[in-house]
């Protein structure tokens, strides 16, 4: 028997092949879409990771908890007004920087140049530990032969310069042309535009910028950083009270401090405190620089410390 083929066989065949082709293409598109969606789901960063990538400093104890920024300017305005009230011979420069929010929390005369006095020793000490970590200096090599302390190694000098503001070691370094020029270059690289004479003159804003770098210490080994931090935190009660100013106003925070002063006729012709404030339990960290002239004593600085701690603690 002969097959019967209708005259409409050509349109039917075209329709069949068109439908078959569309089915194959649709299946491939769906497969590709499904695969891509799975890749995106497994490789896309989480909101926490994305947020963390925006910050230079990662909170080590509470990565998912973001502390609110505290505006400390009203507190500083009141404190400055009280401290300067009726005293034309007094000068104050100040800056407080929130290290967790990368933001200035308060300032006053922050770009005014003051004599930094022994604060410069902190910059020299930082440079010294960098030299050790780069293999250019040896910590236990003899460095200075002093009249009151005898023979001191390079490492001992770096410690004493900060822990007890020991000047003979610092004098050796300041008188070394190579070291002096290296410090000048270092401060220039950090952008400390108003800092001169290897850190002997500076502004609160410049010194805060240095403290921010010190807090990150990108070019120090963990061992060197721990030694420097200990020198700033644990300073002994000698014939000088190195922590009689700002650190004396805090009971809860750890205060990593370096002081610099000049006393004349019972007054502080110059009194400076630079510090890293570590409120470990609150996951809050600040850099603070206070530079003053003409204060009769350190009472105002202790008061400042008290008020700052109370304000920061009560904000939680």
In the prediction, which pLDDT does 86 show?
Answer: 84
In the prediction, which pLDDT does 265 show?
Answer: 83
In the prediction, which pLDDT does 7 show?
Answer: 44
Position 4 pLDDT exceeds 60: no
Spatial distance between the Cα atoms of 173 and 179, rounded to a whole number of angstroms: 6
Is residue 210 very low, low, confident or very high in pLDDT (cuts 50, 70, 90)? Answer: very high
Spatial distance between the Cα atoms of 293 and 12, rounded to a whole number of angstroms: 100
Residue with tokens 């006729």: 265
Q: Is 117 left (phi over 0), alpha (psi -120 to 50) or beta?
A: left
Residues in a beta bridge with 114: 202
pTM here?
A: 0.80
Residue with tokens 């370094």: 173
Fold of 71-314: Beta-lactamase (3.40.710)
CA separation (Å) from 233 to 132, 167, 225, 230?
21, 19, 12, 5
């Amino acid at each position: 028997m002969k097959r019967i083929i209708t005259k409409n066989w050509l349109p039917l065949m075209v329709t069949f092949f068109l439908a078959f082709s569309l089915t194959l293409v649709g299946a491939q598109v769906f497969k590709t879409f499904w695969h891509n969606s799975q890749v995106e789901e497994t490789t896309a960063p989480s909101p926490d990771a994305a947020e963390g990538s925006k910050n230079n400093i990662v909170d080590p104890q509470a990565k998912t908890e973001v502390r609110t920024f505290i505006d400390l300017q009203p507190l500083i305005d009141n404190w400055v007004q009280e401290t300067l009230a009726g005293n034309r011979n007094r000068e104050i420069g100040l800056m407080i920087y929130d290290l967790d929010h990368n933001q200035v929390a308060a300032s006053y005369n922050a770009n005014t140049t003051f004599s930094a006095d022994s604060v410069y020793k902190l910059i020299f000490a930082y440079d010294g530990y960098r030299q050790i970590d780069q293999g250019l200096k040896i910590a236990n090599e003899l460095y200075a032969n002093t009249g009151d302390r005898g023979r001191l190694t390079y490492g001992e000098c770096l410690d004493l310069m900060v822990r007890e503001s020991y000047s003979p070691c610092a004098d050796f370094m300041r008188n070394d042309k190579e070291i002096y020029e290296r410090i000048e270059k270092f401060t220039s690289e950090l952008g400390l535009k108003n800092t001169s004479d290897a850190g002997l003159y500076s502004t609160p804003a410049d010194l805060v910028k240095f403290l921010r770098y010190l807090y990150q210490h990108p070019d120090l080994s963990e061992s060197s950083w721990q030694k420097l931090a200990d020198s700033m935190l644990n300073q002994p009660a000698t014939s000088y009270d190195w922590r009689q100013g700002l650190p004396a106003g805090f009971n809860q925070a750890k205060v990593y401090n370096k002081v610099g002063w000049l006393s004349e006729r019972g007054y502080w012709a110059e009194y400076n405190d630079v510090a890293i404030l570590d409120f470990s339990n609150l996951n809050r960290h600040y850099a603070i620089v206070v530079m003053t002239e003409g204060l009769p004593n350190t009472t105002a600085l202790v008061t400042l410390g008290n008020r700052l701690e109370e304000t920061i603690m009560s904000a939680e």
